[in-house]
Amino acid sequence: MSMTLTREFFPSDHLEQLSRGISAFTVDPYTNALFYFFPKIGAFFTNYQPLRSDPALEAMMPPEAAARILREIKDLTNCAGIKRDAIPYVALYHQFSSCGGPYSLTKPALFLPDQHLFRRNGHSSFGQEKPNENLSEKQWIFSDDETRFLIARELSQLKEESSLFRMAIKVSVFVTLFFIYTSPFGWPLGLSLFIGAIGTHIASERFFQGRADLLGVKILRRKIGHSAKVAIHTLEKMRQQNLYKRKNSKAARWYITKSGNNLLDLLHPPLTTRIKKLTTV
């Protein structure tokens, strides 16, 4: 994948991260509850397409490649110890995500970026990497093992039973707004509660996302063995991409630190923190 940036505009993947962060404090508390119990509805409203080996979709998903990818996801699901298969979806987005869990009424949904699965420009699709491609050394393309780690992170969150707790924290952010109008102490107390709830939400999301790195390593270890090294290399590649964007985009210099952390990403720990934590695994 080639990467072109102008000096005036935000990179699209960073805008996507910011959008997710903003939605976490606005519509997410309502939609998350619906999408958790009915992941298929969540997939419908996110415009993702089900990943399947279908000749009718050959232009977007070559059947042989799609079949191989589905087997890879099935293997990782087994490594995660998830008895309930997640339905994989694909779209032209940048972020891995998921919805549903142990208590969802329909099968969980796993949302995967197209460019990680169906690599273009002559490169093989996910699960079919050739040794001479050296994808781990490419700046903008993730190798099979790196992609396996990113998928394993999402599978770990589908397996854990933290989703309902995280939804409760999001709802609490909205509940505190009522205190601004109903509390006899008015704005001071209501605003303090609101800021505290937002801080709790950000802290909890960062905790669970950091934990997903560790659990993703454990899942990947069952698949390939050398998982911690792969996870560190994956996050380091993201950090180097951020540094490139900082160098080549005037807008990015305002929110990407000199160490390569993205300040617009409210819901993940800084990349340098995540990498340092994985070095102890």
Residues near 163 by Cβ (< 8 Å), separated by ≥ 6? 32, 36, 100, 101, 157
Q: Which helix (H) or strand (E) holds 149?
A: helix 144-159
Tell me the residue range of the domain where 163 lies. Answer: 12-278
- How far, in Å, CA of 116 to CA of 154, rounded? 14
Its pTM stands at 0.85
Residue 267 has pLDDT above 70, yes or no: yes
Asked whether the beta carbons of 216 and 157 are under 8 A apart, the reply is no
pLDDT confidence band for 6 (50 / 70 / 90)? very low
Of 2-6, 13-17, 41-45, 182-186, where does the model show the most confidence? Answer: 41-45
Domain count of the fold of the chain: 1
Residue 52 has pLDDT above 80, yes or no: yes
Residue 55 has pLDDT above 80, yes or no: no
Mean pLDDT of the chain: 84
Give mean pLDDT, residues 191-208. Answer: 83
Q: What is the DSSP string of 75-94?
A: HHHHHHT-SSPPEEEEES-S
Question: pLDDT, tens digit, for every residue of 60-89?
Answer: 788 899 999 999 999 999 999 998 889 999
Question: pLDDT, tens digit, for every residue of 83-110?
Answer: 888 999 998 888 898 888 888 888 999 9
Sequence letter at residue 151: I
pLDDT at 17: 58
| 55 inside domain | yes
pLDDT at 198: 80
Asked whether the beta carbons of 130 and 124 are under 8 A apart, the reply is yes
- How far, in Å, CA of 169 to CA of 175, rounded? 10
| Residue 174 C-alpha from the chain's centroid | 24
DSSP helix/strand/coil, 109: strand
| 4 inside domain | no
- How far, in Å, CA of 2 to CA of 11, rounded? 13
